[in-house]
Structures are given as structure tokens and as C-alpha cells.
Amino acid sequence: MLTKTSTAGGAVIDEPVRSEAAAKAPAKPALDTQSKTAPGQARELTIYLDGKFVPEAEAKVSVFDHGLLYGDGIFEGIRFYNGRVFRLEEHLERLWDSARSICLEIPIGRGEMTEALLETIRRNDLREGYIRLIVTRGVGNLGLNPTQCKRPSIIIIATTIALYSKEVCEKGLTVVTCATRRTGAAALNPAVKSLNYLNNVMARIEANLAGADEALMLNDAGNVAECTADNVFIIKRGQIFTPPISAGALRGITRSVAFDIAAELGIKITETDLTRHDVFVADECFLTGTAAEVIPVVKADGRTIGTGQPGSITLRMISRFREMTRETGTPIFA
């Protein structure tokens, strides 16, 4: 697990986890910072695993699961706010699309999946947090042929998450362009949210080595694709621009929320190829992602973007996004 040193605003965590101590001692229960448990006291999560709810210490998959052996599987990261799951239908739609694309048959229907998700949240007594929904190809043999895998496994983890400190969220991120290119659609299509994230992990390592908060990933043509787990937007002369899906961007759910908000605010938004130059000379820049939410970028490859402060359109976008997350979504406890 990659973690950054803690700041005045709190620990900057790169994954939906847990304390650093918990990461070093994986057999121990996770620290759930938003639970009713006393601060510092560990609380064991309840995990959904193939139809059963089990304590996290017992939530184990086979070493012959092709998800582990080959990254053969799919996932979604989903947030819930104020007792409601945000954009659940869209996440399930994308999960089923990913499954279809890699010829993986999800062994339960959408209704059952929805209930399993909601029940996992309830069993962990959470109102705000993050869900990691994983479907692996299942247990096979050491050969990579997926026909060996008779039944996909479903794992649902509901926990809390903090990607960046409050200070970084308010002041904005720094990004660097990385040498690792986003995989092209002909290799491993970035539209499939697969368990094979090594491309993104390699980019993330580059950002870490450069001391930046995120990595800007280009496609083989040298145009901006996205960041390691976020979509990229720039603002120039009052208009918003973002790379098209064909540039290698995931069809982000938060990206589509940004389109909805732009329409509401009457701000023109255009999908177009962007180069690093466009980012350098932008008035504002922000990223979107379920985990990162909507977050300003104030520096790219050492160049200050705009004034070096989060811009006014970005701030309006963030404010409306927060409202929507609190007011809309699938009720968990209804």
C-alpha cells in the first residue's frame, strides 16, 4: 500500500484504507475512522463474499483465483453519502459492461447485487463511505485459460476513505506527466474497469518518485488521457474541456456528473483532444473520480496553472457536486 506522510490536515492515503498500522498488520481489523468505535480502537469490517457476510479476517479468496493470478476480473469504486449510494445505477451499468466486454458472467442479477451492496453498508453501520465491489474470474488452474474458472467470485467491501488531506483538497494538487502511457484500446481497453491496474500503478509510482500528488497520463498519440484514477478537465476563457473517451479516458461516473453540473450552470463543456500545452496554459484545471471527488489542480510539470489557486468555475463545480452527493442517491436504510 502506498501512503504519504501525514500532514497537519491528516494522513494522505492513496487507497481506501485504514491506518498505516493496520496496513502493516493485515491480519488485524481495519481502523474505521467514521464508526462509532472510540478513536484508535480497531473495528473489524464485515465483508460480503459470495453470498455470505463474513468478518474481514475470514474474507479470503483462493490462491488459484484468476483475479489474483492474472488480474482477471472487474471492479467498481462507489461512494455513499448521507445514507444514500451516489449514482449506484451508473456504477452497476458500467460493471455489467466491463463484464460483458471480458466475457465474464456475473453470477447474480442486478437486484441481488444492489441488495448485497446496501446490506454490506448496513452491516458495517456506515452512512458515509466507499464501497469496493469486485468480481473475479474465480478459481481455475495455473493456466490462464478462463474456461477453467467455473464460478466468478463477488466481494463487497464497505469502509471509509480519505485520499488527500483537507489542505490538499483546498489548495489543489500538483501533477506530473509520466512516461508510462495509458494503454491503447487495442491492447487493454481503458473503458474496462478491470483488476489489471498495473498500467495505472506504474504511473502512480512515477508521481510518487517525482513528489507529485498525481500523474497525468498521455495516450500513444501524446494527448492527455486521464490521471491514474481520475478524469481530467481544463477551463479556458470560461469554457470547460475534457479528453474524449477515445483518448483513453475511463467513462467516469463523476465525469458525467461534471457534465450535468456544467449544463446546470450554463457553462459550455466540450470533449476534445488536449495536449500538455493546453493544461499548462489553462485558467483552471480539476480532476474527477469517485474516490478523489472533484479536486482542483494548481500545478502541472512545474508550471503554475492560472493563478495557482483553485479557480472560480472549479469551486462552483465542487460546491454543486457536494450538494448533489448529499441530496441524491439510492437510500440505504429505507
Residues found near ligand PLP in the complex (CB under 6 A): 77, 200, 226, 229-231, 250, 252-255, 288-290
Choose the catalytic residue: 193, 236, 268, 299. Answer: 193
Classify burial at 302, counting beta carbons within 10 Å of its beta carbon; exposed 0-12, middle 13-18, buried 19 or more.
Answer: exposed
CB of 231: closest distance to ligand PLP in angstroms? 5
Name which of 149 and 286 has its Cβ closer to ligand PLP: 286
- Distance set, CA 54 to CA 45, 49, 102, 156 (Å): 9, 7, 28, 11
Beta strands in the chain (DSSP E): 46-49, 52-55, 73-81, 84-85, 129-136, 153-159, 173-177, 214-218, 224-227, 231-236, 239-242, 269-271, 284-289, 293-300, 303-304, 330-331
- Taking each helix axis from N to C terminus, what angle separates 110-123 and 88-101, rounded to the nearest 10 degrees? 120
Find the length of the chain. Answer: 334
CB of 154: closest distance to ligand PLP in angstroms? 18
Catalytic residue check, 150: no
Name which of 126 and 131 has its Cβ closer to ligand PLP: 131
CB of 289: closest distance to ligand PLP in angstroms? 4
CB of 233: closest distance to ligand PLP in angstroms? 12
Name which of 229 and 313 has its Cβ closer to ligand PLP: 229
Name which of 149 and 240 has its Cβ closer to ligand PLP: 240
Contact yes or no for 141/267 (Cβ under 8 A): no
Active-site positions read 193
